[in-house]
Structure formats: C-alpha cells, structure tokens
C-alpha cells in the first residue's frame, strides 16, 4: 500500500471531489482516480460513491480516513524532524468575536496539520487578511462563503431556577426576567423585537460584549442569557439551554475568501480543513 495513495484518498475524502483533490495535490484527475481504484482493489471495498456533484464516502472510507490521516501526520513529523530551516507559509486569518474556544482551537489545529510549516497570524476580520471566519451576512461582493458552523441560539437558564424545568420557553415567560445583555448580537436583537411586539418587558441585569463572559454569570444565578448551543455551554452543570417558542434564532458562520484566490493552494488547503469538519459531522 503506497503512502501517496492514502494521501490522495485523504484529499478526496476531505474535499468530496476528485477534481478538487487533484488541484489540491497538484496532480491530474486520472492519477487520483487510479490511486483510489488501486486502494479499493487492494482492500476489496468501495471507498466512494460517485454522483453528479462529486463523491460521497462509504462507511469503509469513514473507517479508513482517521488511519490515513494519522499516517500522513506521522510522515510530516518525520520530515520536520530531519529538515533544516523550513520556509514558513504565512497565513493571516481574520476571526470574528465569539466563535467558541473549543471548536476554533480544533479548526486551527487542523490547519496547522494540513499546511506544512504554517505561520498563522490571527487578526480582526476587518483587517487585511487571506481569509476570514465570519457570519454569512458579513461577506462582501468580492467574496464567496463556505459554511462551517450553524449556531442555534437558546435561552441559558440557571439550573436552580424554576423556569429551567420547562422544556420550551414562551415569549411571555421572559416578561421582566433578568437578562445578561450582550451587544452586539443579531440574534439577541431579534429576540428583543419579538418581545416588544408582544408587549413583553426586557430587563437588563448586566451588560457584556462577549459570549465567554455570559455563561459564568448565568451559572452564578445573575440572570438568563441568549447563547449558542455550544458543547462547552451544554456541558456546564449549572446551566440548562431551552428553545424559545416561535422564534428561530440561528447564525451561519463560515469561511469567506476572495473569489480571485480560489485556485491558490493556500485557500484550497483552508477549504479542505473546513470540509473535513463537515464530513466529521461537526458542522451544518
């Protein structure tokens, strides 16, 4: 079994397309196809199901992928161990606020593994950068958007409060309730509008700017907050998350990059990492 074939398999799995994998690996499409066919014949399994939009991995491919990825990572570790002064690959990535530490750390770690000798600089999304992780509505006319996460906002309630026993919260339940008020937040503004339409009073107990400060205040019983359904919030034992009836509070977050840079290897690599997260069931 050739390591190169496994690398080609990894690229097809992550990108969901033989054409995209060929561009990412700087080889022809027949080379990718031949490598996949050889793997399938050697293992006696089908790895991908072809369709009009690309390919879809089989359950066998799902089992092979983490092993192939581990072998690829080990190869890079060996090369780095015996290399002298590798040339860094600079990447300036713009990040919006409140992305979630766990999932963003995971994404950045995957980027460092995917791009050899990566030199990563994180900047504000309004600064000059190679690509941005932002809300879908924040992209400009020269950019295209690749979804990464879909944040569903719910009401975070101290577990000790009686309101926490309700499976679904109504707008009327929010009347006079003490809120941890976070601005700016599009989802929160939408909720406030829905409350105003029904004559429900909004009461602010604390004013903050970042999500990371919100759930400790909820956990302490200071008030409720509108928060995304992130794993680190769900796992907090002092908080429950409840949907709000009749109000859909969703934010789509993804990778924004300039259309003119679509064919660049750096952008292709960033896209492959995002698509790999989708294949692992971490996204939309």
Q: Can you give the CATH number for the domain in which 77 is found? A: 1.10.10.10
pLDDT digits (tens, 9 = 90+) for 68-100: 888 877 776 666 666 565 678 899 999 988 788
Grade residue 59 by pLDDT with cuts at 50, 70 and 90. very high
Q: Are residues 272 and 15 in contact, defined by beta-carbon separation less than 8 angstroms?
A: yes
pLDDT digits (tens, 9 = 90+) for 130-184: 999 999 988 888 899 999 888 899 999 999 999 999 999 999 999 989 999 888 8
Query: What 3-state DSSP class applies to 260?
Result: helix
Picking from 18, 14, 16, the residue whose alpha carbon sits closest to that of residue 32 is: 18
**Residue 126 domain flag:** no
* pLDDT attached to residue 158: 95
**Residue 274 domain flag:** no
Answer yes or no: do 161 and 69 share one domain: no
Q: Could you list the residue range(s) of the whole structural domain that residue 79 is in?
A: 3-83
- Rounded to 10 deg, the angle between the 3-15 and 59-81 helix axes is 120
Average pLDDT, the chain: 86
Phi, psi (5° rounding) for residue 262?
A: -55, -35
* Cis, peptide link before residue 162, omega less than 30° from 0: no
What residues form DSSP beta bridges with 145?
Answer: 256
**Residue 69 domain flag:** yes
pLDDT digits (tens, 9 = 90+) for 172-217: 999 989 999 888 888 888 999 999 999 998 989 888 888 888 888 9
Instruction: List all residues 6 or more positions away from 20 whose beta carbon is below 8 Å from its beta carbon.
Output: 11, 54, 268, 272
Q: Can you give the CATH number for the domain in which 176 is found? A: 3.40.190.10
Q: Are residues 13 and 65 in contact, defined by beta-carbon separation less than 8 angstroms?
A: yes
Q: Could you tell me which residue, 112 or 167, shows the higher pLDDT?
A: 167
């Amino acid at each position: 079994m050739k390591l190169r074939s496994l690398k080609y398999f990894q690229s097809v799995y992550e990108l969901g397309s033989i054409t995209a994998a060929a561009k990412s690996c700087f080889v022809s499409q027949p080379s990718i196809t031949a490598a996949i066919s050889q793997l399938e014949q050697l293992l006696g399994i089908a790895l991908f199901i072809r369709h009009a939009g690309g390919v879809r991995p089989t359950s066998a491919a799902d089992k092979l992928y983490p092993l192939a990825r581990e072998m690829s990572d080990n190869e890079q570790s060996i090369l780095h161990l015996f290399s002298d002064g590798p040339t860094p690959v600079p990447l300036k990535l713009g990040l919006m606020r409140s992305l979630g530490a766990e999932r963003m750390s995971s994404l950045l770690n995957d980027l460092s593994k995917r791009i050899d000798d990566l030199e990563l600089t994180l900047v504000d999304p309004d600064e000059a950068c190679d690509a941005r992780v932002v809300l879908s509505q924040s992209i400009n006319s020269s950019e295209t958007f690749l979804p990464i996460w879909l944040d569903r906002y719910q009401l975070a309630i101290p577990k000790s409060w009686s309101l926490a026993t309700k499976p679904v919260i109504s707008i009327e339940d929010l009347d006079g309730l003490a809120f941890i008020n976070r601005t700016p937040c599009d989802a929160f503004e939408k909720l406030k509008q829905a409350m105003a339409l029904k004559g429900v009073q909004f009461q602010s107990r604390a004013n903050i700017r970042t999500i990371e400060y919100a759930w400790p205040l909820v956990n302490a019983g200071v008030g409720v907050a509108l928060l995304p359904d992130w794993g680190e919030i769900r796992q907090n034992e002092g908080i429950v998350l409840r949907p709000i009836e009749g109000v859909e509070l969703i934010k789509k977050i993804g990778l924004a990059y300039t259309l003119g840079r679509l064919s660049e290897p750096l952008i292709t690599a960033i896209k492959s990492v995002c698509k790999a997260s989708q294949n692992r069931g971490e996204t939309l």
